[in-house]
Amino acid sequence: MEGERFPLCSPYAKKGSGMSRAELLDAFVEGRIGRREFIQGLVGTGVALAAAAAHAAALKPAAAQTQGTIYGGTPGAAARARAQCKRDAVAVLKQEINTCQLTFRGKQRATCIQGAKLRYEVAQQKCNLI
CA distance 123 to 129: 10
Q: Which residue, among 9, 8, 10, 14, has the nearest Cα to 27 in the 3D structure?
A: 14
CA distance 27 to 34: 9
CA distance 114 to 51: 10
Longest pairwise C-alpha distance within the chain: 51
Please report, in tens digits, the pLDDT of each residue of the chain (130 residues total).
445 554 444 444 444 457 888 888 888 877 788 888 888 888 888 888 888 888 787 776 454 444 444 545 566 777 788 888 888 888 888 988 888 999 999 889 989 998 889 889 888 888 887 7
CA distance 19 to 44: 10
